A and B are shown apart, each in its own frame.
Chain A
Amino acid sequence: MATVTDAGVELDGVSVDFGDVSALNDVSITVEHGEFFTLVGPSGCGKTTTLRAIAGFESPTEGTVAIDGEDVTGRPPEDRNVGVVFQNYALFPHMNVRENVAYGLRFRDPPGGVSRRERVDELLELVDMAGLGERDPTELSGGQQQRIALARALAPGPEVLLLDEPLSALDVRLRERLRVTLREIQQSLDITTVYVTHDQEEALAISDRVAVVADGEIEQVGSPEQIYRSPASRFVAEFVGDNNVFEAAVDGSDPPRVSIDDQTVPLAAASKVTPGERVTLSIRPEDISFDERDVAITATVEQVEFLGDAYRVHCEWGEMPILVKTTHDEIPRETTTIWFDAPDVHVVGRSVTE
């Protein structure tokens, strides 16, 4: 499988060990040219290690890293032509904004045949920071620092832009605004981008494709819609967005169905389960309704949160908590019937009963 394609970034069977600890285990990813690719997962899952392996800060114990079709596995970071934006921006405190942005141009010629000065101006313009070039980084706000870090990373015209939780230190509003800016800039430059975040909402919002990482392994790769709508594992189902996850045994009837809390729930024919199998099922809160659908179950409403555009309703189905998200105006109280369609129930895991 060690064929090197001309993808923007390709990791093939990459493992990284820190002493006895395995941080990354046999990870293979292909990021296409111009693609915005996001690694998402809880802290310590290996997403940052993956990014650092692409940048050359960590050397893989096994596997290869290729950038733009070229195997760069043994190369030091300075020879990989990547731009990196760090979580805390890592602006050089002893250089002003201009000097920070210009730093990479000491080693690589500005793309497009412009002078260094012009290139710096161009980038300050791009990130909407023109006129602040003489400031010291410490005089800037967090959002401004983030923009400068981006400008600095882009200045030498890297093949790949690597972003390590660049927005996590900012407040929610700023974060949402900046991620739109970030996406716009990425698209306008058509630059291959690998983005690391622990925020699944951000990942879904910004990416062309998302890889969910857990315990040093890739759980699922796919478009945000695929990840959200068809989680491939219980972990993905639970990690990405609000979800209701249940375990149940498949009985022998056709179409297949499971019994939960004395109620039977039919499964879509496409779910390909076999009788006697124990499965993990998930259903999104917004796929559950107080209006009539295919399947009805009885639940008790415990708690209602008003979100402005919708309600989050915490219910109990027997002993199990179940979350309902609805735009319905009248939320029933206490015991009620809730509805969903069988195709919205996804099998995210299965195991043979003992």
Chain B
Amino acid sequence: MERRRFLRNAGAGIVGVSAFAGCSSPGGDDERPSRTESGTGTTTGAATTTSLGGTLRVATYSSFTGEGTAGNWLKSAFESEYPDATVEFTTPENGLNQYIQRANEGAPIEADLYVGLNTGELVRADEQLDDPLFQSLSEDVAGVDGIKDGLQVDPEGRAIPYDTGYISLVYDENEVEQPETFDALLEPAYEGDLIVQNAQQSDPGRAFLLWTILAKGVDGYLDYWQGLQDNGVRIMSDWNPSYEAYMNDEAPMIVSYSTDQVYYHGEGVDMAKHQVGFLNDQGYANPEAMAMFSSASNGDLGRRFVEFVLSEEAQAQIADLNVQFPAVEGVEMDEEFTRYAYEPPEPVTFTYEELAGNVSTWIEDWARQVASK
């Protein structure tokens, strides 16, 4: 009972869906300002460059580091900028939970920065802990103002987005026509045609669920999902196996990223199978953020690193290597990326405040409905 009422109250707060104007439309080839030639060094003074040093311990997910990754590019670029500094990556298997649990148990947090945070995780950290896990950065870090409006999810300026993906449909145009709206997915024409991911454990799955909550409201999303279930939606564990299933023609539509074609273009590729479709002309933004632990031992260096990540060159590199969109406004991407990555006409996303106190209930209610025996 308690939970329901709480949900309804909270739902009232979501009326103001955060939305912002898109920079490009699907297939569009918008003119963009050419990339500034100024080096990254211009953002920081030469004095700080030489005086700052030591080791910066960056916690992140494992595919952020390694051969040809954004993490490794950042490490070498940052270290050549700050010759006395060393960036060390640590990649805990259970991600942010590792640090929330450590804080809960009073165990030491052996990292300064966390890279790869999403809004829901920040909500979870705050719900679990009395003392804040992260410190506010927006005051002391240059470049935060440049972040796109709709991606400024954390009002307290702890989570600083560095790139974003947009959740969309990817469909096979040989098999189905593009569904334009959420309601269209309930039509018999799309019966058994859609693969989504489990919102309990998959990022795009969770983003898609939240997107349906934005579209259908807190009171309506479960009914909508009942409709999807009746129309044979397949809910798989994670993005990888679900995409594998899509590529094996198990279904002609899948919830995925709007950058799909960046991977899949070139000779001999059947582009029909990689069509990006936005529903209700929206796409759900899933920004990736970085944040600095309250217990960080090398705060100054950490802040310089965050600034560095927000620099134009780094933004372009990260977006390119992560196949995501830059978080900072006006970053010039290369021609190939611009051509194959689609931004939704109306990007939408929940902010921290909207998710706080709600997101786990929403997901729980949804999962119980799906898995009910």
In-complex A–B contact (CB below 8 Å)? no
Residues of A whose CB lies within 8 Å of any CB of B are: none
Chain B residues near A (Cβ < 8 Å): none
